[in-house]
Structure 1
Amino acid sequence: MHLNKILQILVGTALFSFALQYLVIPYQLFEGGATGITLIVYYLLKIPVWLTNILINAPLLYLGRKAFGNSFLIYSIIGSLSVSGWLLLFEKIPLSIQVSNDLLIVSVLTGILFGLGLGLVFRAGGTTGGSDIVARLLENRTPLSLGQLMFALDFSVLALELIVFQNLRLITYTLLFVFITSRVIDLITEGGYAGRGFIIVSKESKQIAQAISSELNRGVTVLQGQGYYSQEPIDVLYCVVSRSEIQEMKALIHRLDPRAFTTITEAHEIIGEGFLETFQPEPKHETAR
């Protein structure tokens, strides 16, 4: 175990629990996933959220151990227990956040705090239990990102809450902050530097590659392709640029070859020369027996 990861999980769960205790519950909002189920139980039966959280997470953590091993189990136990611990602590500290009953502001603040908190926990290799574990179980089995999976699971529980409480207004605001949460999670877990990948097929590939290198100061990879119909060889360019350079890149390509075939793809995280430093894996440590 690493102390900095444990601290990161504790900070993340504190942000998550703070928003849950002082923003979600006072304004009778809902949530998705396992947390949403704890809120349903709380609103109907007044059973404390921190207690229901522990009861729900016990079997899910067991499944997580089978899928991810002891390291995942330890960090997830820390995450789920710290959520319950923070919630229990915050229950003892009365705090009223006045936002003039503006649920839009409440939803935006909740989404940001939830996203930051969960993003920190995920980046440290842990979870807060519940649907976090389910999302990680599915992450490598679907093309969806972690944030997108969380959104799908949350939406399913929100549908149940709509059936039980029949309050479309509050569900809509909840759906807003759930969406914001998913986007912030992706930003935190996938890295702060994202951009676009350009795949360019053009007869003017040499001129375009030279212009990208000299004007944008970006590297270009030349791939060898072949036209299916013409059976003629052709150079295919691949280049990744930052978000601020997208329009300049498009203008450059159009200027040199208006007929160039260009595909623009999402690059969630960019690592390497000219962007972020190359990722260095942490040394493995033997598990104490």
Structure 2
Amino acid sequence: MVKWKWLRGYLGIVLGTVITALALNMFLIPNKVAAGGTSGLATVLHHTFGLPVGLTMLAMDIPMFLLSIKLLGARFGVNTLLGAGVLALTIDLTAAYVPLLTRDLLLNSLYGGVLSGIGMGIVFKFKGTTAGTDLAAAIINKLTGISVGKALLSVDLFVIALAGVVFGSAELALYGIISLFITTQIIDLVQEGPSAAKAFFIMSRSSKEVADAIMDELGRGVTLLAGRGGYTQADGEIVFCVVSTREVSQIKELVYRIDRQAFVIVADAHEVLGEGFQSPR
């Protein structure tokens, strides 16, 4: 079982890197759209000096690979080597065979960003990385808790600006920002999943009645959290529960039927594991 889990992880990393390589070769590299990362730097060097993108990326990734072993452990280092190696080889081996679908910069930025985000999101989901600045983003995520997508965005903006200067085109830099933004959003979406449920925090003087009604009428479990009003200093209970999106209107109606003065917070719940929802993997 453990061996199958590891094998599935490695296959996931390979799949993600292949998708990322196709995105680079089909949409970004041929059109000089440098959407950050070592791929962006390698794209600049490729169009300036004719260097192969894949091998250039791999050469720049070696220091990040050594850092990953030190900070994130040996297994993460193996996953990094696998991701970076497969990405570099796939880029260089398929460059001559991947069709160029369009020269429209906006389309290339959009589709390149979406496909890259899907690929890198899969890699991150299986605890791997393709090294470079996305490895730096994974390290930032581990140390600070900032989402990988947002960390990647902040790190890569410098690369995009540099590419704009070298290519002498502010327009290409702007398209690179579009592609990078889309990539980061798709990475987070792939890792966290779409919002499949809603989390309710309900503050009511009739918390017991609200909780009982949710359990009896909707069949959903609730948790009563101890709370205290900051102004009144009055002790009370906060009703916390998670429901499916189709039950949102039902729970609102239920709460305000019991207490018209209730204070309700509704938040997205991207991945809910346990009774009544998705089973843990």
- TM-score, length-normalised on structure 2? 0.88
Matches within 5 A, 1:26-175: 26-93=30-97, 95-98=99-102, 101-175=103-177
266-275 vs 241-250, which deviates more? 241-250
Unaligned stretches of 5+ in structure 1? 280-289
How many angstroms apart in 2 are the aligned matches of 1:247 and 1:33? Answer: 43
Partner in structure 1 of residue 22 of structure 2: 18
Paired amino acid for 2:60: I
How many angstroms apart in 2 are the aligned matches of 1:143 and 1:32? Answer: 21
How many angstroms apart in 2 are the aligned matches of 1:94 and 1:271? Answer: 40
192-201 vs 10-19, which deviates more? 192-201
240-249 vs 219-228, which deviates more? 240-249
Higher helix share: 2
Q: Does 1:260 align with 2:250?
A: no
Is the 2:34–2:41 Cα contact (8 Å) retained in structure 1?
no
Is the 2:32–2:44 Cα contact (8 Å) retained in structure 1?
no
How many angstroms apart in 1 are the aligned matches of 2:37 and 2:263? Answer: 43
Following superposition, the deviation at residue 248 of structure 1 comes to 4.5
Following superposition, the deviation at residue 56 of structure 1 comes to 0.3
Following superposition, the deviation at residue 239 of structure 1 comes to 1.4
Following superposition, the deviation at residue 182 of structure 1 comes to 1.5
Matches within 5 A, 1:107-256: 107-191=109-193, 194-256=196-258
How many angstroms apart in 2 are the aligned matches of 1:244 and 1:190? Answer: 20
Following superposition, the deviation at residue 200 of structure 1 comes to 1.4
Paired amino acid for 1:144: I
Tell me, what secondary structure is at the counterpart of 2:143?
Answer: coil
How many angstroms apart in 2 are the aligned matches of 1:162 and 1:278? Answer: 45
120-129 vs 86-95, which deviates more? 86-95
How many angstroms apart in 1 are the aligned matches of 2:258 and 2:178? Answer: 43
Aligned residues: 277
Tell me, what secondary structure is at the counterpart of 1:141?
Answer: helix
How many angstroms apart in 1 are the aligned matches of 2:44 and 2:113? Answer: 19
Deviation by residue 1:181-235 (Cα, 9 ceiling, x = unmatched): 2122112222456433221111122332233334443221111223344443312
Paired amino acid for 2:76: F
Identify if the C-alpha distance between structure 1 residues 94 and 106 changes in structure 2 by more than 3 Å, giving closer, same or farther.
closer
Following superposition, the deviation at residue 271 of structure 1 comes to 1.6
Following superposition, the deviation at residue 155 of structure 1 comes to 2.2
- TM-score, length-normalised on structure 1? 0.86
174-183 vs 79-88, which deviates more? 174-183
